[in-house]
A and B are shown apart, each in its own frame.
Chain A
Amino acid sequence: MGKKVAPAKYRSPNDVDHFGALFCIPFVATFLVFNIYPVLRTFIMSFTDYKGYGEADVVMFDNYMRALTDPLLREAFVNTLIMWGINIVLQLGLALLLTVLFNDMKYRMKGLSLFRAVFYLPNLIACTSVAFLFKTLLDWQYGSVNQVLLKLRLISEPINWLGGSGTTAQAVVGVVGAWMWFGNSFILLMAGVQGISHDYYEAATIDGAGRWTIFARITMPLLRPIMMYVAITSLIGGLQLYHLPSDEQKGGLSCAYD
């Protein structure tokens, strides 16, 4: 058995290639009209001083200059990056860990469907409800998290989760984001894993490969395209995270994400 077991790149016979283009037409047409046009229009408007209504005069690069030199924007950007960083490391790490766990042939964990459903629950609640829920739970005087921690004598003073100078708050937002989305990543990775044909595993085991070798040499490479997807979409989603921080902070860190 060769080292690399991932399937080779696709080569379709040339005479059917045009079908590929044909299949893409509905997508491209809709995309142009409903995605590209609006964004272009907004882009063009960014060269004017359009305030959301009324007339628009062209002021060219003024808006961009303002944005680039605005110290608050830079601060907001850094804050966003930090929150995203914490989110993605936790989220992907956890999801990968779980995937490995449930895919493991030695331990054969049961209850996959049940756990998967439960882990997906956080994702089902709309973002704003989550934010409000956590704001209440983490309220530093009355919130239950502090009350429980106090009762357990783990801390002697309530922790100001959401207020304060920021690092704790950013970590909190990152963790909440991870909590919301790790179930999703988990499902995606599992879907990928289950698409891998058993033949590969059987062949490898017959050849005497150990569990870790199988994981590293078969599962991981085959999962790579999906992992890339999860990483990129999490990155994009993280950069765009709007509701979560703003609803949770309501003032304290309002420059963290305008």
Chain B
Amino acid sequence: MKRIISLVAAGILCLSLAACGGSGSPAGGQEGDDKLVVWTLAEDLKDFAAYYTEKTGVEVEVTVIAPADYPTKINTTLGSRNSDVDVIVGEPQMLADFYDAGFFADLSEFDAAAKDKLVNYVYEAGKDEDGVLRALSYQVTAGSVIHRRDLAKEVFGTDDPAAIGEKFGTFDAIRQTAAELDAAGYSIFGDTGALRWFANADSPWVKDGALQMTDARLDYFDTAVDLYQNEYVAFAPEWSPAWYASMAGPLPVNAGWAALEELDANAPTTQIFSYAMPSWGALIVRDNAADNKGNFGVAKGVCSFFGGGTFIGVNEFSANQEEVKKFVEFCTLNEETAQWWLEESDGDVVSMKSVLDANKDYENPSFGNQKTYEFFAGEASAVDYSLVTRYDTAIGDAFGRAIESVQKGEKDKETALNDFYMEVQSVYPELTVPQ
């Protein structure tokens, strides 16, 4: 019996070697100039690829890789100069490292067009340290404060987005707004993490190699602690089931939990007034709003911000750069494509200024007929990309932890800040931190 198994093993080994030999090398004429290979981390490009094939007849093969693993895959394969892939993507926080490694090819020939046609921050994000354009995006992810109009009318007497914007315009205003909402039985945010988008209001985290701890940042710190300790937030973290559920209606708050069985309508529950998120967040709210659909609006916050977004570029080691560049151009610098994507995606905000302009009067029914494109276009053009650094993600996370430790009373502010500086120093020894 075992002899049979060993024979079978040997047989399969030979077979597998033969099979692998076959599948390992390019199968016939499938490779070559007429097929583009795209590795992406979101499903959007699949639609673009199909549209491209429809328009030009060129075959495109798209592979979707989970965002968490995308850098690993790119670093390992392109680090060995692999040429299997033609189009690569990145989210803004990944781009700096990719540029340094030399994975994204030079796209300077599109520099003029990009500068002219695309929203400014997208153009800036696409450039590397030396100002060479290497990636472009078809979308902008400008952020806003997505709020409940009906609650706004009830508490503030108005649902005009401009007025709401003022109520979120500074940290002091936010504190006041939070108190007003709490008095009416509502929570301003799901949790204080919503404030993190405003951390870069006036200066970048790092300037000339030094960590910047400005007054505005300390203000943000205090506000976050304030809101938490006064229980102005609902304690439903972003992406939690409770947070999703809150978009559709009331949700329980941690206080007074014991009365849950009685389903008392007001006392133990609250409603979340607003969510601070990039533009794709608005789509999420819309999709989860159920009966609340149409009750939301978008307004400005303390500063204009953006979050995420897919940037497309050309693999430096790709064999057929000319063809690939055409694809990238098609996806990002072509008006017709931009208009198509705006409709196809049912709400994504494109990066092309002219298309945004053309659609600015569109009244979005999911948001109480507010002119969302106009709003986002305005926000996007106000985004100052120079406030973004490659250190933002790690430093932002560390700062968040520092804030949390003070919120929960584990540390006092001074200790938390010092630990924060220590942490930043250990992750980025090349930076100088305040003492």
B-contacting residues of A (Cβ < 8 Å)?
Answer: 51-54, 66, 70-72, 136, 139, 141-143, 150, 156-158, 163, 165, 251, 254-255
Contact call B240/A70, Cβ cutoff below 8 A: no
| Chain B neighbourhood of A255, CB < 8 A | 401
Q: Nearest 9 A-B pairs (CB), nearest first?
A: A53-B101, A53-B79, A142-B241, A141-B242, A52-B75, A54-B101, A53-B75, A70-B426, A142-B242
- B241 CB contact (under 8 Å) in A136, A157, A254: A136
- B160 proximal to A (CB < 8 A): no
Give the CA-CA distance A66 to B236 in the complex, in Å.
37
- B252 proximal to A (CB < 8 A): yes
| Chain B neighbourhood of A66, CB < 8 A | 426, 429
Question: Nearest B residue to A62 by beta-carbon distance?
Answer: B429
Contact call A54/B102, Cβ cutoff below 8 A: yes
Interface residues of B in 399-435 (CB under 8 A from A): 400-401, 408, 410, 422-423, 426, 429
- B260 proximal to A (CB < 8 A): yes
Contact call A139/B260, Cβ cutoff below 8 A: no
A-contacting residues of B (Cβ < 8 Å)?
Answer: 75-76, 78-79, 97, 100-103, 235-237, 240-242, 245, 251-252, 254, 257-258, 260, 397, 400-401, 408, 410, 422-423, 426, 429
Q: A139-B241, A142-B245 are in contact. Are A157 and B426 (CB under 8 A)?
A: no
Contact call A156/B258, Cβ cutoff below 8 A: yes
- A54 CB contact (under 8 Å) in B100, B237, B240, B408: B100
Q: A70-B426, A139-B241, A165-B410 are in contact. Are A158 and B103 (CB under 8 A)?
A: no
Contact call B408/A158, Cβ cutoff below 8 A: no
Contact call A54/B79, Cβ cutoff below 8 A: yes
Give the CA-CA distance A165 to B408 in the complex, in Å.
9
Question: Nearest B residue to A146 by beta-carbon distance?
Answer: B257
* Known pairs A53-B78, A157-B254 / 19 extra A-B pairs, C-beta < 8 Å: A51-B97, A52-B76, A53-B75, A53-B79, A54-B100, A66-B426, A66-B429, A71-B422, A141-B236, A141-B240, A141-B254, A142-B240, A150-B257, A150-B260, A157-B258, A158-B254, A251-B397, A251-B400, A254-B401
Question: Nearest A residue to B235 by beta-carbon distance?
Answer: A141
- A254 CB contact (under 8 Å) in B75, B254, B397: B397
Separation in Å of the B44 CB from the closest CB of chain A?
A: 24
| Chain B neighbourhood of A142, CB < 8 A | 240-242, 245
| Chain B neighbourhood of A157, CB < 8 A | 254, 257-258
| Chain A neighbourhood of B101, CB < 8 A | 51, 53-54
Give the CA-CA distance A236 to B103 in the complex, in Å.
36
Q: List 28 A-B contacts (CB under 8 A).
A: A51-B101, A52-B75, A52-B76, A52-B79, A53-B75, A53-B79, A54-B79, A54-B100, A54-B102, A66-B426, A66-B429, A70-B426, A71-B426, A139-B240, A141-B236, A141-B240, A141-B252, A142-B240, A142-B241, A143-B241, A150-B260, A156-B258, A157-B258, A158-B257, A163-B237, A165-B408, A251-B400, A254-B397
Most B CB contacts (10 A, CB to CB) among A53, A54, A254, A255 go to A53
Give the CA-CA distance A165 to B257 in the complex, in Å.
21
Question: Nearest A residue to B239 by beta-carbon distance?
Answer: A250
| Chain B neighbourhood of A52, CB < 8 A | 75-76, 79
Give the CA-CA distance A122 to B245 in the complex, in Å.
29
| Chain A neighbourhood of B245, CB < 8 A | 142
Contact call B408/A72, Cβ cutoff below 8 A: no
| Chain B neighbourhood of A165, CB < 8 A | 408, 410
| Chain B neighbourhood of A72, CB < 8 A | 423, 426
| Chain B neighbourhood of A156, CB < 8 A | 257-258
| Chain A neighbourhood of B78, CB < 8 A | 53
Give the CA-CA distance A163 to B408 in the complex, in Å.
11
Most B CB contacts (10 A, CB to CB) among A52, A141, A143, A158 go to A141
| Chain A neighbourhood of B237, CB < 8 A | 163
Separation in Å of the A97 CB from the closest CB of chain B?
A: 34
| Chain A neighbourhood of B79, CB < 8 A | 52-54
Separation in Å of the B248 CB from the closest CB of chain A?
A: 13
| Chain B neighbourhood of A70, CB < 8 A | 426
